[in-house]
Structure 1
Amino acid sequence: MTSQDLRAVTWTAAAEGGAVPSLSLIDQTALPHALNRLDVTTVDELIDAIVRLVVRGAPAIGAAGGYGVALAMAQGEREGWDRARLDAEVARVRAARPTAVNLMVCVDRVAPLIDAGLPAVLAEADAIVREDLEANHAMGAFGADWLLKRVPAAAERPLRILTHCNTGALATAGWGTALGVIRELHGRARLETVYADETRPLLQGARLTAWELVQEGIPHFVQADGAAAGTILRGEVDAAIVGADRIAANGDTANKVGTVGIALACAHAGIPFVVAAPTTTVDLATATGSDIHIELRGEDEVLEWAGVRTAPAGSRGHNPAFDVTPGSLVTALVTERGVREVSAGELPVGGLS
């Protein structure tokens, strides 16, 4: 089984003999050294898994949120919750990570079906997963077509692509968003190599993206985040493609911290900076990037490494999980509906209605 066949989030029905329903998650904190699954049966366990990044990536978190409603219902049935308690627990799942809009969208899509019963909730959560997988394959094809048409070098040789963080099967229902485009290029023999930024502070690029690329034999380099701009400006990259956690109505895009520097370097070098994300990531209620809440994670993630203090005792840690790239720097937005050239004025609000 290749990494693209992995399912980061799966529902396990109750079995005979006392087992309770559970949500099975690939433990992404253990990769690349071990491929383990964590079975969660309570809301507290699910929220802890989301916060600790056992499950991460906006679409995968969204899927976890959809199934999280079912998990809360099953726990409430076992423990005798009233409706007010159930609603409060669902709200806790919805708020587990504030930047990624997919979590909120998916919980809000599933929660109205609570009165229809657990089978209806599970059917809607299953539909979210199915639609995301279909959307990812569509994005891969649209994105590859656009790059092969718009990047001049594609007429002469396979492309060299830079990506940031992890946007593959591990971050989605399967296949991937930005990494899905890369997979599509590789499948067409139109990919020379990938530059995968290590992605500080938790190394999602070095641990997860590189692991997925290794599983499929896709040539790549892992590089420090600080090397990305220089690699671009030296002419070693034909295009950069990243995912997104929230896209505002004007095209401003929140993604893993470090993304905006890549976009600036691409603009200076005159190469495409492409965002690949499902339409559920476009938040038309958020007018601009300045309205996007940026999650601050624990200081120790930048003050320590593997539990060992690396900064002086008197230092404080500034650890934003995301940054916002202005829409003016986004060359194109790839969704399951096609490609919109954001910096050319084809804003998401106009192109996705």
Structure 2
Amino acid sequence: MTLQAIRYSAGNLSIIDQLQLPYVENYIPIRTSDEAWHAIKEMRVRGAPAIAIVAALALASELQTLVAYDQISSSAEEVQAFIIEKLQYLVSSRPTAVNLGDASRKLSAVVVDHAGRPESNGHSVATALIQAAEEMLAKDINDNIQIGAYGAQWILANGLDAKKSKATVLTHCNTGSLATSGYGTALGVIRALASTSKLRHAYCTETRPYNQGSRLTAFELVHDNIPATLITDSMAAALLAKSEASVDAIVVGADRVAANGDTANKIGTYALAVLAKYHGVKFLVAAPLTTIDLSTKTGNDIIIEERPASEVTKIKGPRDKSSTNEVEFETVCIAASGINVWNPAFDITPSALIDGIITEKGVVEKDAKGRFQLEDLFCDPSITAASVPESA
């Protein structure tokens, strides 16, 4: 069974604490937007889709509590102002991931529309937000399943030579159930291949300095019994050059895709794209439409978040041999004291290095002029993309 990282039912939200994975599976309650802000900022929850969903559901949970205890204003305008202020606060937790801002705009539009109706009141405005947040959760899971199916078929049709029937895929960072509402984007493609016995092997990078690959992706792959191997980030070039490994595709997620296809993703993604181009390996970005930001024209316009130096100079983990049954965490220094540190959380992969962008509507490829036409995804329901059987 696929890991469930976000649990939500009738206003009760809890998330698996990713800072303790893979050593401890501990779910923590998120009851308010303030608790969600800190969980996102501290990376107890991470991954662009998951961040947006947790923020939306946290506000929904907070509103349900206020309604249950009759602490909500009867004024539609006051509740509208309260919700929009909370959404703006939540967006400030992580600036690079566009999904959070997209969710905020959509929820704000729902609230403004409902508050403007003659029959609306504070309770009904709160209810409108709650329903919209819950619908986002369901849609994200369905979108991820579609992304997995489209991506798997594209790789089998375009990434394999005639002698192969199964694919070997390398992925970076964590893009599975821990980064989404469930199933995953790039890791969802690997899951889709595995579910149809079309996956030969998966490789995941450790993803320094936060080790999302070794801690989280490896955890999910083991959890789902998917054949996989962990490598350090610096081993990727050697792996692609290794004929026995025979990697067919690299599939990564995205925190923001610009209008021209330039993609912001976890630091190290750009290097993998360069390596893929040199070795003739297909390079794919898996991202729902909520990650595509048409208002951002190119990758040069994307603000890159920088993380604390301590993530590079220190590392946290459990004691290797504990005398008790309880897991004891310890932080150790791994760098020379006083050294300067540059720690960008993301990098930009130019669209020229990307073979396809996998969305819930299909795999978008570049046109004859070598350009992605991503705006068509939002205005033309019959966009030409890699087809997928309805049964997928």
TM-score normalised by L of structure 2: 0.82
* SS at structure 2 position matched to 1:153: coil
Q: Does residue 59 in structure 1 map to residue 69 in structure 2?
A: no
Residue 25 of structure 1 aligns with which residue?
15
What residue ranges of structure 1 are gaps of 5+ in the alignment?
14-20
Residue 108 of structure 1 aligns with which residue?
105
* SS at structure 2 position matched to 1:105: helix
Residue 50 of structure 1 aligns with which residue?
40
Q: Does residue 214 in structure 1 map to residue 222 in structure 2?
A: yes
Q: Partners of 2:110 and 2:93 in 1: how far apart?
A: 21
Residue 291 of structure 2 aligns with which residue?
281
Q: Partners of 2:280 and 2:269 in 1: how far apart?
A: 16
Q: Partners of 1:270 and 1:351 in 2: how far apart?
A: 28
Q: Partners of 1:94 and 1:72 in 2: how far apart?
A: 16
Q: Partners of 2:309 and 2:226 in 1: how far apart?
A: 35
Give the superposition deviation at 1:156: 2.2
Note the alpha carbon deviations across 1:164-183, whole angstroms, 9 max, x for none.
01111111111111111111
Name the CA shift for 1:93/1:224 in 2 (closer, same or farther; >3 Å).
Answer: same
Where do residues 229-308 of structure 1 align in structure 2 (5 Å cutoff)? 229-235=237-243, 236=245, 237-306=247-316, 307-308=331-332
Q: Partners of 1:35 and 1:305 in 2: how far apart?
A: 19
Q: Partners of 1:33 and 1:262 in 2: how far apart?
A: 28
Aligned to 1:36, which of 12, 26, 33? 26
Name the CA shift for 1:350/1:229 in 2 (closer, same or farther; >3 Å).
Answer: farther
Name the CA shift for 1:75/1:257 in 2 (closer, same or farther; >3 Å).
Answer: farther
- Measured on the aligned residues, the alpha-carbon RMSD in Å equals 2.1
Note the alpha carbon deviations across 1:258-314, whole angstroms, 9 max, x for none.
000000000001110001110111000000001111111111000112222222222
Give the superposition deviation at 1:12: 4.4
Residue 159 of structure 1 aligns with which residue?
167
Aligned to 1:349, which of 346, 351, 375? 375
Residue 357 of structure 2 aligns with which residue?
333
Residue 16 of structure 1 aligns with which residue?
none
Q: Tell which structure's C-alpha radius of gyration is larger.
A: 2
Q: Percent identity?
A: 41
Counterpart amino acid of 1:27?
D
Structure 1 stretches of 4+ with a deviation exceeding 4 A read 74-86
Where do residues 123-138 of structure 1 align in structure 2 (5 Å cutoff)? 123-138=131-146
* SS at structure 2 position matched to 1:152: coil
* SS at structure 1 position matched to 2:251: strand
Q: Partners of 2:372 and 2:259 in 1: how far apart?
A: 11
Q: Partners of 1:154 and 1:176 in 2: how far apart?
A: 29
Where do residues 162-177 of structure 1 align in structure 2 (5 Å cutoff)? 162-177=170-185
Counterpart amino acid of 1:233?
A
Q: Partners of 1:142 and 1:312 in 2: how far apart?
A: 46
Q: Does residue 10 in structure 1 map to residue 24 in structure 2?
A: no
Residue 322 of structure 1 aligns with which residue?
346
Note the alpha carbon deviations across 1:218-251, whole angstroms, 9 max, x for none.
1111110111122113343111001101000000
Residue 388 of structure 2 aligns with which residue?
none
Q: Partners of 1:75 and 1:313 in 2: how far apart?
A: 47
Counterpart amino acid of 1:66?
A
Counterpart amino acid of 2:266?
K
How many pairs align? 343
Q: Partners of 2:267 and 2:168 in 1: how far apart?
A: 22
Q: Partners of 1:246 and 1:113 in 2: how far apart?
A: 23
Is the contact between residue 53 and residue 136 of structure 2 (CA under 8 Å) also seen in structure 1?
yes
TM-score normalised by L of structure 1: 0.91
What residue ranges of structure 2 are gaps of 5+ in the alignment?
116-123, 317-330, 380-392
* SS at structure 2 position matched to 1:275: strand
Residue 17 of structure 1 aligns with which residue?
none
Q: As a proportion of its length, which structure holds more helix?
A: 1
* SS at structure 1 position matched to 2:161: helix
